[in-house]
Structures are given as C-alpha cells and as structure tokens.
Structure 1
Amino acid sequence: MKVGLFIRVSTLDQVNNTDSVETHIERGKLYAQSREWQVVEIYNLAGVSGKSTIKHQQTRKMFDDIRSGKIEGVIISSLSRLARNTSELLEYSKFFEEHNASLISINESLDTSTSGGKFFYTLLSALSTYEREITYERQIASLNYRRKQGKFTGGMVSYGYKIVDAEVVINEEEAPVRRLIYDLFLEHQRMSSVAKELNDRGYVTRKGKSWSDTTVRRLLKNTDAKGVRKCNYRGQLSKDNPSGLKPQSEWQYLPCPTLISEAKWDEVNAIIKDQEKNSKNKQPLNKRVHLFTGYLKCDKGHNLHVITKSSNYRCKECKLSINKDDLEDVFLSRLKKFLTSNEELADYNKSNNQELQLKADEIEFAETQLEKLEKKLEQLIELNLSGEIPTKGFKKHYEPVYVRKENLETNIKNLKLELEKLEQAKTTFNIMANKSLDFYNKWDKLDRGEKRYVVESITREIIFDGQNLNFKLKQIAPLSFLELGQNGRQRGTIL
C-alpha cells in the first residue's frame, strides 16, 4: 500500500530538543517498512498549532493526493499530532472513510482499515456528539437565565443603542437621529424622502454610508425603539432555512430603554402596514398618471379610465364620463365634509360598529352550527359501532355531514380573517383620518405621488352611476353620496 507520513511537531518541542521532525519521519518509515508499505509522500507541518490543522496547505495537499489515488493511507505518530480539536478529528475520519483511505496512528495502534479501528472512531464520534449536546444545553441554560434577568445575550444592537458592561443602553450620539427618523416619516410618509432628508442634513449610518429607504424601513419597524427588543430569532443558515429565522414560538422579547413613545411607534407602523398592503400587486406609482385610476367604477362594476389627451374618466361599456378635475374637487369637498363633521364621524363609527357586530354574530352562529355537526358525527359513529347503522351504509350517512363540517370550518376561518381586517381598519382609521385632514389643508402644495397616497390610504372604491358618486372607504362602511349633473359637475349641496 502506498502511504504518506503526516508530521506535526510543536515549535517548543523543537527548541527543547524533546522531539523533532526527523524522529517522527524515521519512526513512520520503520512502521511502514514493518507492514511492507511504500512511503511516497511526507506532509510536514512543523511548528503548526494542533488547535486547527485541517485548512493548512500541507493538509490540503494530502487530501488531493488521497483523491487522486497517489496514496491509500496516512501514518501519524498519534491522534494528537493530527489534531487536538475533536470536531476536526471527526472531519478527518469522515474524509478518510468517504475516500476509502486508511488512517494509521502508531501510539494508539489505530488502523481504520480494520474493524477495530472503525469501532474506535464510532465511539469517538458518539462521545463528541454527547459533549456537544451537553455544552449546548449548558449554553442554552445560561442564555435563558440571562434573558430572564433582562441582560444582553450577544448579537448586534440597532442604530441608537450600544452595549456597556453587557447591558443595552441608549447611544446618546445616535439617538437623536433615530428619533428624527420617526418624525420625518410622520411628516413625509415616504421612506425615500426620509433617507434623502437625512443625507441632505449630512447624517450617515453607523458604518459611515448614506441612508437608504431599506435602512430607514428596518429601523422604523424595529420594536426596540419603543422599549421591546427582539432576540433569539435567528439561527443557522441552511438550504431548508435560507433566511436563518427560527420559529416565532422561540422568539423572545426583552425590555430595553425607550427612544420614542409607544403611541408614536404604533402610529408610524400603522401607516407602514397600510402602505405595504396597498402596494401589493400594483404598478409603480410613476406609471399611474391619474389620481383615481383603479378606484373609480361605474355602477355595473366597470373601471373608468382617462383616455390619452382626454380630460374625462370614461366607461367604454356604459358610455359614462366625468371630468377628472371635477372629480378631484368633489373628492376634496367630500373628504373635508366628512373629516370635519362630528355628526358624520359619529354615524360612520356607528356603522363600523354595526358591521363588526354583524360579522361577530355570523361567526358565533357558524360556530354553533359546527358544534351541532360535530355532535351529529359522533352520534353516527356510535350508531355504527352499536350496529344500528351497518358499515356498508355508514358512508352514505357520514360523508355529507363531514363535508358540511369541513366547509363550515373553512367559512369560520375566512369570517375570522374578515373580522380581523375590519378591526384593524377601525384601529387605524383615526390615524388615517387625521393625516388625511392634514393633507387636505395643504393639498395644492402636494405632488402627484402624495395626493395619490391619500386616495390609496382611505379609498376602497368610488362608484359613479352618471348622477351620483358614492365613496367607500377600505374595509368599512361607505360614505353618503354626492349628486352630480348630467355633465358630471356637482349638483346641489354636499349631503
């Protein structure tokens, strides 16, 4: 068999003359000669630490020689000469096994080409696994204890914070900028506008780079600003988990110093959530030439569009049209009337509460029906077991009830999602109403993108039947209508 000699001698041993490269080479050659093996290569790692040897140039050369078949085995004086790191030792073992090569240790009388040698490595692997698991359990126990104490357990802290004596504290240099980000977003409601403003003011990120809308978004959504720091949510990257995120059940939230009030954080993130919801499956804003495209429909459900070089929204099927400037004026008038009328807001909230209650009643009724079906299924099973319903005819009785039960469960799930959306819309409505009123007061100074944002934020659809406009807000009750003349102009007073 063609073999190589793997030689590693510490620098200290060489200085003290207690060991030498030549001694190990001679010892390896004599052992090979006694087994009638041919030594064809020597891999000299003199002076290399045993802490890690697997990435050394001589080790890589040894691996290449094994792959190419130049050598069929490697002789070492002892396992400690190969590596003092158990995990690396197992990597060596795995490599030799995969390439059908022998690893021979003179001191331990180990030869992995024999059954005894293979058993030794199996035992070593089991002990290593046990050691890793015990170490991991101790680390987890220590981390959990520190988390319960509210102490820092490692990782990075976001902009505006720093670590002092293993505690998360406010970074007084970064904190004013972090707070400013929230204020700027409430003013502009655009990530890119906030980033531009920060860059114009000469601020840079912690790494000295320019601000981007991605960085702004990440900081705005981070809960640490309101005093809740998320931790233990990242694990190892893998093919099955490319993001590295752990299951949400394992995430933990610890208190930390606050940078802004919880109310301000909630207000900002309610706006972000609404923007993200509205942006799904939509064209980029710069492709939307007109404010109400996609929201204005006729009473037959057709979309109204502005044809090139035309000043009117038109429905091709129904031949309806309305002037785009008139529609904008009506929208503003209706918006102001609604937002400044306590009576209308009260009626609107009453309508919302009624719709929420109706949805809740529908869910309660469906759950009662589901309970009855489940009892009926149990009765059918009991009748079958007692022999009153023969097995041959059981399916005819059982299957229709079971199908109804599955359909009802799906319906209940959908109803609960609808109720959740309605409740979210109600929660964010006051915020959006206040912002919409603020936008109204400076409407003439807004650019098209900002005007479009107002329409997207509060509008579900606008129905036009040739005479009346009916404004409907997202997920909640419709506003009362406006009457228009035949030419699309507003007629009479605002209702």
Structure 2
Amino acid sequence: MNLDKFKKFKKESTVKITDSNTQKEIWSYTRVSSKEQTKKKYSIEGQIKHIEEYALDNDLVITQRHGGTYESAKRDFTRREFKLLIDNVRSAKKKPHAIAIKFISRFSRSGGSAIGLVEELVETLKVHLIETSSGLTTETEKGQMDIYSKLLHSKKENMMRMEMTLPALKDFVEEGNWLGRPPRGYTMYGEKVTNYKNRIKGQELKINEEGKILKKAWQWKSEGMPDFLIRQRLLDQYHFKMTKQSMSNMWRNPFYVGVSKHRMLDSPIIGKWPALVPEKIWDKVQALLQDAKRQSGYEKSKINEFRPLTGFIHCAQCGAPITSYIAKKKNVHYYKCQHGKGGNMNAFTTPRSLKVGVNDAFIDFLKQFELEDHKAEALKSILSTMLGRHADNNKDQVKNLKLQLKKVQEKIDKVDERYFLSENQNEEAYVKIKGKLESEIEIIKSKIQNVSGDLSNQDNYIEKAIDFSQNLSKHWNSGDLSSKLIIQQTLFPEGLIINPENREYRTKKMNGLISVIESIARDEKDSKSKKATQKGGLSSIVAGTGLEPVTFGL
C-alpha cells in the first residue's frame, strides 16, 4: 500500500517549539541550616557555584538569587528568605521558568506541605523546580514524582534525627539549662552561640544592661503602675522601647524569676540562670494581673476618661483595688470594690446622689497639697538645686546615647564591608538593612539633642513647677486621661486608699514634691527644718518618679 497518499490527513503538531537561541530565565535558592555546615558541598558558595555551572551547561540564565543565609527548613514559612522567594514568585508579572536548588533538601524538609507548595508552583504558577545535583526537574511527570519522593525522604530524615536528639535535648533542659534564644534582658554564653566573643565551655546566662532596666519595670508594675505608663517611662528615662504585647508576655514568663517551664519538662524546675526579679515581686505582679481579670455580674471596663481612678485607689475595708463600670441604661459611671464590701460608689456628684462622687472627692483631696502663693520661694530654691542634679543626670544619658550611636555606626560599617566584599551582592537586602540602621542613628541623634537641651530654660521649668504645685486639682480636673494618670502616679506612686463610706482618702506613699510642700507648710520659718526638707525632698524627687520637665507642663 502506498502510504504517501495519507500524508495530507496528518494533523499538525500544536506544540510550540521554543527558539533554541532564547535562554530560559531561572531563579536560584541556596540555604544551609547552621554556621557549622562549612563543608564545601553544603556551603552557600558551593551551592551558588554548582547552580551557576548547571545554568551555563543547560543554556539557562539566572535572573534572581534568593536565600544565601542560615535558615532551618523544619517549617517553610518561618524562613524569611524562603518566604520572600515564594512571595516574589507569586507576585511576579514575568515568572521564571524554574527555581534551581542544588539539593531538594535545601528547598524544604516539611514533607507533605512542601509537596503542596511544589504543586502550586508547577500547576498554578507554571514555575518548575530543578535539582541541579541530579538534574531532576518537574518538567517531566517522572521527574516531578522523583522530586516529591525526595521531599518525603527529607522529612523522614528530619524525623529520624529528632528521635535521636530529643532525649539528649530533654536531659539538657532537665539539668536546668536553657534551650534556644533567651528572653530579652539576658545574654547567653555557650559553645554554639552566634557571637564568637561569648563562646565558652558549657552554658551561662547573664543579666545584661537591658535586664537591669527591665528590673525597674518589674518594680513599677508591682507598685500598680499601668503598662502604658511603664512603657512611656522606659522610653523617656532610658530610651528603651517595648511593645504592649511583649510587656504583657514578660509579666507572665516565669523565666524572669529563674524558673523553666519548657514543654519538654514534666513540671517546672529551677533554671541555672540568675533571676531578674525576686519571687516576692513576681507574686505581687501575678496578684495584680489576677485582680485585673474580668468580673462577672456587670460589664467591667478598663480605665477611661470618666473613671481615671480605676485600679489606682484601694478599698479601705478589704485592701483590694477598686474597679469600675458603666450602667448603660442610665449612662452613669460607678466605682466598685471587687469583693463587694465597699459597695458601688458614684464617680460624679449629681443632684440626686447621696454622697460626693469619687472623682470630686479626689479633687478636694488634691487641694490640701496645693502650695500657697507666699510659700513659693522656698520651693523655687529646692527645685533649682534639683534641676542642677537633673542636669548631671542628663550628662550620663548623653554618654550612654553616644555609646549606642557608636555601636549602630559599627553595625553600618560591617554591613558596608560585607556588601562590598561579597561576590554575590544582594542590593535590595543591603539597602533595606542600611536604611533601618541609619534611621536608628537619626533617632539617637535626636534624643541626644533633646536631652542636651531640655534644661536650657531652667527658669521656665521652675515657673511651670510652681504653677503645677499651686494648681494640682485644676490640672488633674482639666487634663485628658493620659495627663490624669501621670499626675496620679507621679504624686502617689503606690496609689491611694479610699473609705467607701465617707469617701475620704489616705496616702500609702507620697512623691517627693508632696513631701516638700507639706514640710514647707509645716514650718517655713524654721531654717534647720528647711535644710532637712531640702535634703530629704530632693532625694525623693530625683530617685523616685521625679518631676521631669514633661511633668512640669501638665
């Protein structure tokens, strides 16, 4: 039979033939798990070189490089560079033909989730995976199955390693050692820490300079100070930033009292590190946190502008902090003893109220501490001396800030050195890191300027302090919520005790300013008493909450 007559019935191929002169674009991804993996076949440099040679041999061009760092592959999207790679692939308008990795285990060890991710890359995004060490590629169905098999094998390897290492890790933790990065405020010394200067035999955790500052935060919290005021004071006095969530987590972390509650342990144990806070302070803070929990029976509110004394005042009958709530139907604000012994107390005095409102009673209480006009000169003399000491304090702050400035500049120098000496420069990462460090420098420089100049007008500060001392009740009553809370906590750092029956207040502990005013009022003519007042009052003001310039302007 002559088959040539059937040629006209042959269907043309619909497969598009790629021009052999057009190079396919690929992206590379490199990774090692730790700095200890320094063998050539696992090193970043070795991986990069192998992928480049593969691309050259197979007429491929690398247009983007990702990874190049130390990241564990146990979980995929906890790896910053890996997440960046996948996000870039998903968002890229012009997607690469493939992602090239020397070993599949460098891509992921998460098993099933990794297979799902590769499925998305190949089927949805049309981006393949290439293992350059073996030549396997998802471009063929067999190659795709082989890569899936290798991903599962990598997961199995991880599980086997964990079975071998978990018992040893458990013994390590049970001996009182810490596993992982220590919480803020501690520096770790050991055999495998990243900072080579801190490498020693065994393990040791030490409280660092941040820890010393955090210790003050714990003390303030145990005295009942609200978190937002603690964060503000840390920032104002020590230029120490802390988020709301991280502070909340810190109060509930037994690590700071020297106790380990690691999940590998059957029960908590005493750790081998020094406690940042005594057990007594820890117990006080936990009691305050417990008292702050929502109570049933009415809608308890947090501190607000109509009930600024919430948690600040304590019941004279049971000693518990006073909570507050709003009766929504009547739109009336009340304070309430947690244990019910003091009953409900109206926040404001109204024509129908039988007793004076708690807020109005507090205003009357403040009036008794207000300085009379003819006694202002005595306070001016004391404040002048205090501001001189405050200036000395500022010099120390400037010194510390300049030290911080030097450290950040050294980090910038290292970033520049690594970038310019690297053969594989990641310009995007370099610009991002350097920009962040330069922003830190600008912030520190601004703080140095503020601290250096905040006492440039001493007379103005003194006048504001006198005005504040003569009008305590007026400033509190007219201020916003933040101002009210600052005034309360500044003047009475341990809060006040209120008698629910007669709405009378008693002080627990007064700020140095109030002590000075009281002493001046007792005997302004007695020179010996004056000297003693100045000495004791200044000590209280400077060492305690203090009359910072910002307080003068309240």
TM-score (norm 2): 0.37
Bigger Rg over Cα = 1
TM-score (norm 1): 0.40
